[in-house]
A and B are shown apart, each in its own frame.
Chain A
């Protein structure tokens, strides 16, 4: 499985954009980038995923570099409820049967008033 590297913690002011980086320099061409977050004492929540193109949904935007070696999750207007641990995960190829998701230690985002 490709490994990911994330900063252990980040701070963001409420109402500002939160940009969470992730390095995945060993990613292979058919591996997806997934983002989950885990609010304290809750189960992980799926946020977004992408392969090559940038993606946007109601929660966030995902920007993947052209070489696919890194990505950034963007929360456009962070709120206090966005305080959580954010996990960047590289999903093994879809055509190789079951492959487990590997959760690292993620980035702890603290949104302050």
Chain B
């Protein structure tokens, strides 16, 4: 069966510090991968998606970037965090565009 991991589970970072969140998927190959952000009390916002290694599409302009160095690894980064980057970050995978997306446990980020 497939599993998706995210770490860390929680993170408190000062404004201006860098960020690196990692997501890995097990039990499948060449998945589509997604990064979402959920602000407090809000719905999910798609940030990035990837169809393969090195292929990243951005949905909204922002202070964040994404990379996919390996088939089942998806990384969310920032060089300098802003207060507005606080939120719940979720990674998801699917077999292809038409298939169901499955979400990881999430990383809760608090920027102070």
- Chain A positions within 8 Å of B, measured between CB atoms, are 34, 41-46, 49, 87, 94, 97-106
Assess A34 versus B100: contact at CB under 8 Å? Given A42-B105, A98-B49: yes
Assess A105 versus B42: contact at CB under 8 Å? Given A43-B104, A43-B105, A44-B103: yes
Kindly list chain A residues whose C-beta atoms are within 8 Å of the C-beta of B106. 41-43
Interface of A is mostly: loop
Kindly list chain A residues whose C-beta atoms are within 8 Å of the C-beta of B12. none
The answer to whether A49 and B59 have CB atoms under 8 Å apart is no
The answer to whether A43 and B103 have CB atoms under 8 Å apart is yes
A-B pairs, 3 with minimum CB distance = A43-B103, A103-B44, A103-B43
8 A Cβ contacts from B10-58 to A: 42-44, 46, 49, 51, 57
Given known contacts A42-B106, A43-B92, what 12 new A-B pairs fall within 8 Å (CB)?
Answer: A43-B104, A44-B44, A94-B98, A97-B97, A98-B49, A98-B57, A100-B49, A100-B59, A101-B44, A103-B43, A103-B44, A105-B43
